């Protein structure tokens, strides 16, 4: 197969084949406009969803609110990890302010419900992936991160409510350097054909 470049829009398949994750710290301006973010989220919400429950929420963190998020993350880090160093605090602040745009995706399952929790959580993960595909199709790159903030109830409470979980922090922007292809699993290792 010929080498394809990032965001090759020749065909739908080449677009999918050329998607790469961007390290949020390497994503710069321009980022998506508010209208583009709305369009990306609309596309992300077209995720398979057994029961039509929409078991996810998207929280767009505006650029002007990013410094306040950085302060909150440092505050929560201090409360949850008293042994955190100044370097840990700096990393928490940098986490909140990297890349031009940030969408926090929450898993928001409907419980109790006949649709199993696992299926609803999978749908939230698929919504994150659809958001990345939408960003890529619009000429941007994205990075989907978790880290300690995704597992902190106090951080979750900044964006959602009890019973919800942070599926990911999706950072969006323009690659500041060429996106590298990472090693992919050999099909012989990750695909098997069932034979009864």
User: What average pLDDT does the chain have?
Assistant: 93
pLDDT at 131: 98
Q: Which of 12, 20, 10 is nearest to 141 (CA)?
A: 20
Whose tokens are 């999918």? That residue is: 16
pLDDT band at 2 (very low <50, low <70, confident <90, very high): very low
- Whether the model clears a pTM of 0.85, i.e. scores above it, the answer is yes
What are the CA-CA distances from residue 18 to residues 1, 23, 83, 84, 108 (Å)? 12, 16, 42, 39, 30
Whether 63 and 100 have beta carbons less than 8 Å apart is answered as yes
pLDDT in tens, 117-136: 999 999 999 999 999 999 99
* Residue 165, φ and ψ in degrees, nearest 5: -140, 150
Q: Which of 142, 119, 116, 122 is nearest to 131 (CA)?
A: 142
Whose tokens are 């080498």? That residue is: 3
**Structure tokens belonging to residue 165:** 């979980």
What are the CA-CA distances from residue 128 to residues 6, 125, 195 (Å)? 20, 5, 33
């Amino acid at each position: 197969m010929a080498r394809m470049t990032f965001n090759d829009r020749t065909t739908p398949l080449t677009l999918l084949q050329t998607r790469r994750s961007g390290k949020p710290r390497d994503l710069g301006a321009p980022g998506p406009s508010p209208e583009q973010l709305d369009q990306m989220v609309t596309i992300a919400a077209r995720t398979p969803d057994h029961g039509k429950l929409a078991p996810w929420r998207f929280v767009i963190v505006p650029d002007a609110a990013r410094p306040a998020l950085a302060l909150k993350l440092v505050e929560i880090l201090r409360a949850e990890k008293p042994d955190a160093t100044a370097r840990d605090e700096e990393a928490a602040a940098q986490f909140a302010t990297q890349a031009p745009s940030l969408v926090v995706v929450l898993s928001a399952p409907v419980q109790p419900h006949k649709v199993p929790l696992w299926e609803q959580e999978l749908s939230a993960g698929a919504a994150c992936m659809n958001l990345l595909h939408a960003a890529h199709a619009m000429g941007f790159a994205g990075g989907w991160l978790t880290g300690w903030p995704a597992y902190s109830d106090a951080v979750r409470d900044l964006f959602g409510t009890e019973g919800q979980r942070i599926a990911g922090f999706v950072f969006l922007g323009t690659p500041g350097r060429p996106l590298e292809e990472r090693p992919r699993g050999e099909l012989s290792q990750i695909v098997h054909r069932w034979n009864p």
